[in-house]
Structure 1
Amino acid sequence: MQNTKQHKLSAAQICGWIVWWVITIVVLALAIFMLTRTTDAAGVHNSWNYHMIAIFLLLVYGIQQIIAFFGIKRLHYNESYVWPIVLIVLGVLGSFLYVISGIWGLIVNNPQKNQPTKIE
């Protein structure tokens, strides 16, 4: 039998994964809706530009989701501020819910809080 070590997720990471899955499902549903829709409510045929905009938005959010995946996975890597700030920037630029995990990660990764206190 293999002895596998399970990595315990922090509450900030669990929150980030929940946000990640919700946004992924919403983006995929909207992409399917936009790409399969051929006419609008008035019966006018959607142009090629409509589908190109849908593909562009899908690519932008796809790249955002890939970056967010690594940001959440490495949120506490070396207790640095890099990945929490990346998540905050993603939250400002796109899906605002990533701000929650980013700020939470900044609080958890605070090096002054994690240092042992010196008693004199």
Structure 2
Amino acid sequence: MTRRHSQSPVQIVGWIIWGLETLLVIGSIGFSSITGSLFGGRGMMGGSMMGGSSMMGTHWLIGLGTVWFIWRVAMQILAIFGILRLHNHNADTWPIILIVVGVLGGWLYLIPGIWGLIYNGQQRNRNRGNGNIQERRKVN
């Protein structure tokens, strides 16, 4: 039986933000499919609605939406690993990755990214402080 480590407040907030971002991605896909069905599978600039050419049809919108969806799923997967490994050895790698995900995708990831940098810095300072006390005890 393995012992599960407790989550830090930073990770708990990260999971809440991950859930909100996931709902946003799923909701935007639902919204776009509903609006697409309302317009009969054609966008506002589609050939049948406003006399636009077939070049202005929905094919490029579908392609753009697919690329956006793949991008957001990749960001969500990267965010999962970032939140899980936020405090690995108190390194700043995963908080920085969350900040990059926040800049490139969901801006809410900036919160756990920056907070993770601060939290890990405080943990390092505590560990250094305890090490100095132990070294002083050895000298005396």
Q: Deviations over 1:13-66 (max 9, x none)?
A: 000000000000110111233245124468839511111111110000000000
Aligned to 2:3: 5
Q: Give the secondary structure class of the aligned counterpart of 1:19.
A: helix
16-25 vs 92-101, which moves further: 92-101
Contact 1:19/1:97, CA 8 A, preserved across alignment: yes
State the identity as a percent.
36
Contact 2:43/2:58, CA 8 A, preserved across alignment: no
| Alpha-carbon distance, 1:8 to partner | 0.3
Aligned to 2:110: 99
For normalisation by structure 2, the TM-score amounts to 0.74
Which whole-Å CA distance do the structure 1 matches of 2:18 and 2:113 have between them? 12
Stretches of structure 2 lacking an aligned partner (at least 5 in a row):
51-56
Residue of 62, 74, 77 corresponding to 2:88: 77
| In the alignment, structure 1 residue 116 sits paired with structure 2 residue 129 | yes
Aligned to 1:61: 72
Contact 1:80/1:109, CA 8 A, preserved across alignment: yes
Contact 1:35/1:51, CA 8 A, preserved across alignment: no
| Alpha-carbon distance, 1:115 to partner | 2.0
Stretches of structure 1 lacking an aligned partner (at least 5 in a row):
none
Q: How many residues were matched structurally?
A: 118
The aligned amino acid for 2:129 is: P
The structure whose residues are more often helix, as a share, is: 2
Contact 1:35/1:54, CA 8 A, preserved across alignment: no
**RMSD over aligned Cα, in angstroms?**
2.2
Aligned to 2:20: 22
